[in-house]
Structure 1
């Protein structure tokens, strides 16, 4: 039973007693009855006035509670000229002003934080209590290669393969650094923050690829320049001396002359090969900035096919074409991309050896090229080092082919990956 109901019942009971008493007085004295009636009316008026005075603050409080429940911080009350009630009104209005200001400030901070998260170059994955993805920002979408809609609500273990393996057991406060496809390097750190008394976890993803590539490039550029300078100077001087020694051949006996000339020829050829070897390294250092023009990738592939067709026929390797009906026009440096595709196709041919196929497929949404060969795949321990400068698994390799491919594609701003699936096939993907 509410206080209002109790008060009303009490007032009705008292005034009922007064009316009954007035009825008994009526039997004794009419004038006294009239006095009693006036007393009852005065009491009723006073009771109604007190009722309004007592319960108006309660009505005000109830209205304020409803406004706060509805999160309506714009409703304020006006003073009514009653001191106690006006004090309550002033307190309520100040409280509402403070709540409104705090809500506006919180909304502005939340809006700013959301903008910073969306614009951040670092990837951010917000997690729920059960390691489920609550949201990810555009940078994390780009790193993971998937849209937020496909990942929201999924457990961390359901992320793309490498990401799931590295992040599912990552403890709060710990960091991990790993490489994907032998080129893209990421550092991930798991942390938490408090919101309304609850801990919320997140994973911060930082891409280190550009910094690592720049440091690598600066290191091997210096080494190559020094080596190239010293080797060219040395081989040039030696070839000059060897050429001068050739004039003494006529002074030798015929039996010795042939061996002498052969030795000079071998030494000269070896110096020439050494100079060519260093020149190949220097090409990586002297790689110019791409001069981009609109180019049809399909036309580039057709030209390279005609160039490599004799070798393909010799090895009995077939080309499977799966190109989009419309030309795939991309802004790029035709000469540099042709070098990239030539290197990839030659690697595919060498991986197959004989009797196999190379599949060339393109798509327009998103624009990309996939080159898949049936060469038996790449061992997992090799995949992590494929784009490392001067790393090679070939007997006479120099380890600069994929390094040049990497630098050209990075300079173009193209995404790329080299992976082997369970079908013993290797796919090189270029995302334009």
Structure 2
């Protein structure tokens, strides 16, 4: 029986095909492994680079943080860190010196109430138990953490320097005022002494005696007026207290007093009124006196037949304009109008307009002046409208001693 080799050849062929497939699969696996090794090596190198960059950035940030901490500790201003609930969580060295470490963990509002005292300078605080220590507080929010940073700046030295400078300035002003007052008193006093000396002459006729006595009395009245103005100026224009007063009521009183004076001088004087019954917070006597003083000056600046007008108007405040078409004044005079003892009149004290400005300032008002030689002068006063709550608070907070 003949032997057939076909099945054996077919089996060998299938085995060879299987081996070839296995060989191809092995090659592919080897290639894939090599590729994975290459990718792993690349990733390792990239990771090393990234890790090195991170280390560099970390080192930079660590150095920056160290420098910031050193800078924070070296700052002369106190730095207080608050958390979201406004509790103290950290202090720098300056803040520790000011507040002490025991405030850490305390509520900031409690620290404020116990450690700080407000006083006359706005925005500045005294440290409790240390009246010579003056601080300013500035608070900033931290958007990222929701906390807050409070800066405590010690302004004790600038504050005391300002106080010393103000004291020196007051001494200078007092010296200038004393010199000006002595100059103002000398002339009428010398004249009064001269007339009084004439009264002792033997054989002086009664008519001459009465004339000299009248002249001396007139000079004495000038002295009295000067001293009264001086006292009013020193006392701050004697604003006794603010109360709601109708503007037209003040203007009526001013009109009654100034009309005869204007008529005697031959000057046309018109006092306007507001259409509405508007109220201002004022000391009626002081405000009327200030307006009368200005109107009297305006009349003196006019010749017979010229005109003086007071015109009130209303906007967000009361505006009172006093203008004349008299002689006017040069710019050099206008700039010094409100200086104490500055006057262009031989019989003036130089305190009238200084007192007027004090009165307007005491009423939280504002006064300006414009003038042109030969064309006249215009004063503008602006006064706030009445605020009864502010009046009560102000009168309680600023009592004025009138015992003198």
TM-score, length basis structure 1? 0.49
Cross-structure match for 2:338: 387
Q: 2-side partners of 1:357 and 1:231: how far apart?
A: 30
In 2 relative to 1, CA 322–53 (structure 1 residues): closer, same or farther, beyond 3 Å?
Answer: farther
Partner of residue 284 from structure 2, selected from 314, 320, 334? 334
In 2 relative to 1, CA 375–328 (structure 1 residues): closer, same or farther, beyond 3 Å?
Answer: farther
User: Do the aligned partners of 2:329 and 2:373 also contact (CA within 8 Å) in 1?
Assistant: no
If asked which structure has higher relative contact order (CA below 8 Å, sep 6+), I would say 2
Paired residue total: 272
The runs of 5 or more residues in structure 2 that have no matched partner are 1-16, 80-121, 125-161, 384-404
**Alpha-carbon distance, 1:342 to partner:** 0.6
Counterpart mapping for 1:26-425 below 5 A: 32-55=23-46, 85-93=50-58, 95=60, 98=64, 215-217=172-174, 219-221=176-178, 224=181, 239=196, 249=203, 260-287=205-232, 288=235, 289-294=238-243, 295-313=245-263, 315=266, 317-319=268-270, 321=272, 323=274, 325-330=276-281, 332-353=282-303, 354-410=305-361, 414-420=365-371, 424-425=375-376
Measured against aligned partners, the alpha-carbon deviations of 1:216-247 in whole angstroms (never above 9, x if no partner) come to 355324763798699879958984x76666xx
Instruction: Identify the structure with the greater helix proportion.
Output: 1
RMSD: 4.7
Measured against aligned partners, the alpha-carbon deviations of 1:281-327 in whole angstroms (never above 9, x if no partner) come to 21122113421121333311111112222344563514262636241
User: Do the aligned partners of 1:328 and 1:364 also contact (CA within 8 Å) in 2?
Assistant: no
In 2 relative to 1, CA 264–418 (structure 1 residues): closer, same or farther, beyond 3 Å?
Answer: same
User: Do the aligned partners of 1:348 and 1:358 also contact (CA within 8 Å) in 2?
Assistant: no
Q: 2-side partners of 1:407 and 1:316: how far apart?
A: 28
In 2 relative to 1, CA 396–233 (structure 1 residues): closer, same or farther, beyond 3 Å?
Answer: closer
In 2 relative to 1, CA 374–268 (structure 1 residues): closer, same or farther, beyond 3 Å?
Answer: same
Q: 2-side partners of 1:210 and 1:334: how far apart?
A: 33
**Alpha-carbon distance, 1:341 to partner:** 0.8
TM-score, length basis structure 2? 0.52
User: Do the aligned partners of 2:306 and 2:326 also contact (CA within 8 Å) in 1?
Assistant: no
User: Do the aligned partners of 1:296 and 1:328 also contact (CA within 8 Å) in 2?
Assistant: yes
The runs of 5 or more residues in structure 1 that have no matched partner are 1-25, 58-82, 110-118, 122-205, 250-256
Q: 2-side partners of 1:215 and 1:431: how far apart?
A: 31
Q: 2-side partners of 1:101 and 1:322: how far apart?
A: 70
Q: 2-side partners of 1:412 and 1:233: how far apart?
A: 39
User: Do the aligned partners of 2:191 and 2:216 also contact (CA within 8 Å) in 1?
Assistant: no
Q: 2-side partners of 1:292 and 1:272: how far apart?
A: 35
Larger gyration radius, structure 1 or structure 2: 2
